[in-house]
Structure 1
Amino acid sequence: MRTDPITQRKPAGKPEHLYLQLARNIEQQIRDEVLRVGDKLPSIRTVCREQGISMSTATQAYYELESRSLIESRPQSGYYVSRSPRRQLPVPQTSRPAEKEYQESQEDLIQNVYAELHRSNTIPLSLGVPADDLLPIAKLNKAMVQAMRKLPAGGTQYEEIQGNEKLRRQIAHWSFTWQGHLSDKDIVTTAGSMNALSYCLMAVTRRGDTIAVESPVYFGILQLARSLGLHVLELPTHPQTGIELDALKNALPTLTACVLVSNFNNPLGSCMPDEHKREVVRLLEHHNIPLIEDDLYGDVYFGQNRPKSCKTYDKAGLVLWCGSVSKTLAPGYRVGWTAPGRFTEQITRLKMLHSVSSTTLTQEVVANFLANGRYENHLRKLRRTLHTNSLQYSRAIADYFPEGTRISQPQGGFVLWVELAKTISTVELYKRAMRHGISLAPGRMFTLQNQFDNSMRLSYGLPWSHQIDQALKTVGMLAKNIYLGR
């Protein structure tokens, strides 16, 4: 970053404080896109040396830019440009789903989108996991070899039904980051988070029951609920704060259970504030309604601390907390878990009936990764990369997409929710984008209602590159063509 000497930028009249002059210089560079969204700023010490100013002055300048939401501080990394004042897109509107399910199935659309993901030369903007380049694959391979050498019979024996004890201890240890206070006896390991959700739903519901979910919500939850013969009530959801509490209160008399992705919902990116989580748990406890909490994105936060979970406030054992490493470490390992509270015995019995035990080798590898500090080191790098990606993708969308576009502003996770003008069908946009080798996820995949025709999910789990920039530019051009009727 180059800044004009601050002594040359003083306005006429009353002298301006030095820190405000420096902040104004940097802001102008952001406006002129000399500094772009996602760029790293020089350290405070470097600014002091280059500008000949004190640490206090430089720090005040950065604080001033932070207060205007132009830059942000990242732990152990420094300051980054967080947005440009030239064009800041609004967030999508709060969803307003109907009370009844829409009868048309979206399964064909879902199947098509994911079948085409594996086509060669496709840019998978619809993918909901980080790219291979962001995962410690070499270290995992080495850990796998070590596990085969150390485990009895090379890891070919069955694990105990509740799961690898070392892994359960490590998961319990990690729960202290969100004040979970779990023990290894509270946890049952599973084959990924969806397997955990499946066991939990089978434990607390019966065919014909009604469950409440966010809207939009991950399509896998909707498909699972339908396969179990459950009715799904989609609740109005804000793109930043999650479900509307009043809507939940009104629905309580009809509910058997609730399923929420409380931290960085997929696909909306919303994160429920702590007070909302506390109130949701209180309401459900009062009506004796179980809450299945899918918290697999909680570790991918962009702020200073991991957000708490609904399980943090669970006193009655009614929150069945689920997680996995599928979105952070090894999607194909299928290592997940649940801390199901008062339903632990039922979940363990279901696991014994459906799978006998979890995979021995992959559980051991993940347990060792959690135990020796490598996982936290990996997460720090992953968070920094994904945060920068989210800013770069958002900047490109603001530059290339048509007027009227809205975009979520997630503070964690992997995905952006993009809302286009009402006349733009994202199913049609998906079809046109695939002709250019670009895959995206139409909004209709994430609901059982007749809604979100003009919305889509885009993943920023792919490393930022010129190719990604051009892909987003192409999608924006195609969206404009649809808007213009071309």
Structure 2
Amino acid sequence: MGNLYHQIASEIISQIDGGAYHIGDKLPGVRAASEIHGVSASTIVAAYDELLDGGYIESRPRSGFYVCSRAQVDFLSPKMSQPAMIPRDVVGQQLMLPLLKQTQIPGTVNLGAAVLDLSLLPTAIVEKAIVKAARQERLNICRYQFPPGNLALRQQIAKRMAQLGCDVDADDIVITNGCQEALLLSIKAVTQPGDAVAVESPSYYGILQIIEHLGLKAIEVPTDPQTGISLDALQLAFENWPIKACIVMPNFSNPLGATMSDANKKKLTVLCKKSKVHLIEDDIYGDLCFGAQRPSICKRFDEKVIYCSSFSKTLAPGLRIGWVASRQLANAISQLKFMSNTGLPGVVQYALVDILASGKYDRHLRGLRAKLGKATHEMITAIERYFPPDTRITQPKGGFILWAELPPDVIKNNDTFDLALTALEKKIAITPGKLFSANQKYTHCLRLSSSGLWSPEKEKALKRVGELIKLL
């Protein structure tokens, strides 16, 4: 049966999204569907199970399978952001660490931090791989693992990137301490203090922290919650300012969840190349699509794109394994990595080689993706139920985070940072919007996280946040 049932599920999802099936339409029965697709009944059952887990269809006793309302939630979507495109110093990022620490206090319900629920992590697989690595590589794991990192791991990553259409060798890859260090080293390799870099707006606070740390200026570029960074606005920024790098999350961006089309990804690479601007691609959420078809990456269209990612959002954040892929900068980034912290623990790298080579990572991903789609849908539905009318909510096609924009008449002169502090007193963690801007914009917005698994406890906590909003 292999991956065939995922292909069939993906086809049906495309048919639902394309309007071939509407809410309430009945899907062909298992026997009829097996004849249509030319596969066994067990393959169809597996495909329908995946659609059920993703919230695309529902099963009615003694009746069959029907398309449900997952893809047709009735809500307003945020409009394209309109930041002032001028170089700015980044301020206010020191507020983030204390908030993140609060999410790890026992009893706190996490609705803010972008981390998977622990129950979704393949902890048994990771444990067995570490034990195996410690036993089989007991001498090697005691040695320094200098940059660019474990060769076998780099070969596995290069193989995965080749599947995405990239011409990448193991020698082009540098293993890093998560994606955050990958971004830090990449940005540092192509900039000097005082330089300007272009970012999406709103932008992941970790990128803003790097910009602040390196003494750079941030130019926030208008970004659409569905289609990503505005290429017209970015071109205007390139024409008006001497920008050294552009940092973009093209797939399921943080915090908006936007995904750029292949056409726009290609246009972005052409624009950056023409303007002689380094394009740094953060693809940390790329593997977390709700369907079976993973989106493409910018590096597919230009091998000079500096590609950054990690396994923190998919496998286990505690492993702290990320990477940079750049043929032109691999040596420079290896040197920066060496000067920063010498290298990474060998046991974790060997363990990850085993997880990737055995196929366990891909099997884990297939099960995880359907759960993420269901959890996101349930969170959107809960936001509509408990938040004020006219709240605007993103509708990503992957990942596990949402961006909520509260109505101006509700937030008034208040700040969602104060709301976050009040929620923490109730042992509920949310992330205020102003942390995603260089100059603390978006004070009426929130980033919310389902952590990939919805529960009655989270439903209750979100309801309480809705009540707190009404008290502003």
Q: TM-score of the superposition, structure 2-length normalised?
A: 0.84
Provide the rounded CA distance (Å) in 2 between the counterparts of 1:81 and 1:217.
Answer: 33
Note if contact 2:371-2:452 (Cα within 8 Å) is conserved in structure 1.
no
Aligned AA for 1:439? A
Pair 1:129 & 2:115 matched: yes
Q: Helix, strand or coil: the match of 1:332?
A: helix
Deviation per residue, 1:213-261 (Å, 9 max, x gap): 0011110110111110100001000001111011110111421111111
Provide the rounded CA distance (Å) in 2 between the counterparts of 1:410 and 1:475.
Answer: 22
The aligned residue for residue 447 of structure 1 is 437
Note if contact 1:101-1:449 (Cα within 8 Å) is conserved in structure 2.
no
Q: Helix, strand or coil: the match of 1:83?
A: helix
Counterpart selection for 2:421 from 394, 414, 431: 431
How far has the Cα of 1:82 moved from its partner? Answer: 4.4
Counterpart selection for 2:244 from 233, 251, 256: 256
The aligned residue for residue 286 of structure 2 is 298
How far has the Cα of 1:473 moved from its partner? Answer: 1.3
The aligned residue for residue 199 of structure 1 is 185
Note if contact 1:82-1:391 (Cα within 8 Å) is conserved in structure 2.
no
Q: Helix, strand or coil: the match of 1:236?
A: strand
Structure 2 counterparts to residues 166-205 of structure 1, below 5 A: 166-205=152-191
Structure 2 counterparts to residues 83-482 of structure 1, below 5 A: 83=70, 88-100=74-86, 105-153=91-139, 155-253=141-239, 254=241, 255-315=243-303, 317=304, 319-422=305-408, 423-424=410-411, 425-482=415-472
Equivalent pairs, count: 424
The aligned residue for residue 15 of structure 1 is none
Note if contact 1:215-1:236 (Cα within 8 Å) is conserved in structure 2.
yes
How far has the Cα of 1:72 moved from its partner? Answer: 6.4
Aligned AA for 1:448? A
Note if contact 1:97-1:449 (Cα within 8 Å) is conserved in structure 2.
no
Note if contact 1:237-1:243 (Cα within 8 Å) is conserved in structure 2.
yes
Closer/same/farther in 2, CA of residues 462 and 55 from structure 1, 3 Å limit: closer
Provide the rounded CA distance (Å) in 1 between the counterparts of 2:23 and 2:83.
Answer: 46
Determine which structure has more spread, i.e. the larger CA radius of gyration: 1
The aligned residue for residue 11 of structure 1 is none
Provide the rounded CA distance (Å) in 1 between the counterparts of 2:89 and 2:126.
Answer: 44
How far has the Cα of 1:159 moved from its partner? Answer: 2.1
How far has the Cα of 1:123 moved from its partner? Answer: 0.3
Provide the rounded CA distance (Å) in 1 between the counterparts of 2:133 and 2:23.
Answer: 55
The aligned residue for residue 15 of structure 2 is none
Provide the rounded CA distance (Å) in 1 between the counterparts of 2:162 and 2:76.
Answer: 35
Segment of structure 1 superposing worse, 345-354 or 144-153: 345-354
Provide the rounded CA distance (Å) in 2 between the counterparts of 1:194 and 1:405.
Answer: 31
Aligned AA for 1:428? D
Closer/same/farther in 2, CA of residues 72 and 169 from structure 1, 3 Å limit: farther
Q: Helix, strand or coil: the match of 1:258?
A: strand
Q: Helix, strand or coil: the match of 1:461?
A: coil
Pair 1:45 & 2:8 matched: no
Closer/same/farther in 2, CA of residues 214 and 226 from structure 1, 3 Å limit: same
How far has the Cα of 1:435 moved from its partner? Answer: 2.5
Closer/same/farther in 2, CA of residues 176 and 26 from structure 1, 3 Å limit: same
Note if contact 2:23-2:67 (Cα within 8 Å) is conserved in structure 1.
no
Closer/same/farther in 2, CA of residues 270 and 90 from structure 1, 3 Å limit: same
Provide the rounded CA distance (Å) in 1 between the counterparts of 2:354 and 2:74.
Answer: 43
Pair 1:81 & 2:68 matched: yes
Q: Helix, strand or coil: the match of 2:119?
A: helix
Provide the rounded CA distance (Å) in 1 between the counterparts of 2:271 and 2:23.
Answer: 50
How far has the Cα of 1:115 moved from its partner? Answer: 2.3
Closer/same/farther in 2, CA of residues 152 and 436 from structure 1, 3 Å limit: closer
Segment of structure 1 superposing worse, 103-112 or 427-436: 103-112
The aligned residue for residue 6 of structure 2 is none
Provide the rounded CA distance (Å) in 1 between the counterparts of 2:187 and 2:89.
Answer: 22
Provide the rounded CA distance (Å) in 2 between the counterparts of 1:184 and 1:55.
Answer: 43
How far has the Cα of 1:354 moved from its partner? Answer: 1.8
Provide the rounded CA distance (Å) in 2 between the counterparts of 1:217 and 1:123.
Answer: 24
Closer/same/farther in 2, CA of residues 157 and 251 from structure 1, 3 Å limit: same
Note if contact 1:298-1:306 (Cα within 8 Å) is conserved in structure 2.
yes
Aligned AA for 2:265? K
How far has the Cα of 1:181 moved from its partner? Answer: 2.8
Provide the rounded CA distance (Å) in 2 between the counterparts of 1:24 and 1:93.
Answer: 26
Provide the rounded CA distance (Å) in 1 between the counterparts of 2:336 and 2:90.
Answer: 31
The aligned residue for residue 32 of structure 1 is none
Closer/same/farther in 2, CA of residues 101 and 430 from structure 1, 3 Å limit: farther
Closer/same/farther in 2, CA of residues 185 and 476 from structure 1, 3 Å limit: same
Query: Sequence identity of aligned pairs in percent?
Result: 37
How far has the Cα of 1:119 moved from its partner? Answer: 1.6
Segment of structure 1 superposing worse, 381-390 or 157-166: 157-166
RMSD: 2.5
Aligned AA for 2:342? V
Q: Helix, strand or coil: the match of 1:147?
A: helix
How far has the Cα of 1:55 moved from its partner? Answer: 7.4
Provide the rounded CA distance (Å) in 2 between the counterparts of 1:176 and 1:342.
Answer: 18
Q: Helix, strand or coil: the match of 2:329?
A: helix
Closer/same/farther in 2, CA of residues 101 and 447 from structure 1, 3 Å limit: farther
How far has the Cα of 1:380 moved from its partner? Answer: 0.8
Q: Helix, strand or coil: the match of 2:223?
A: strand
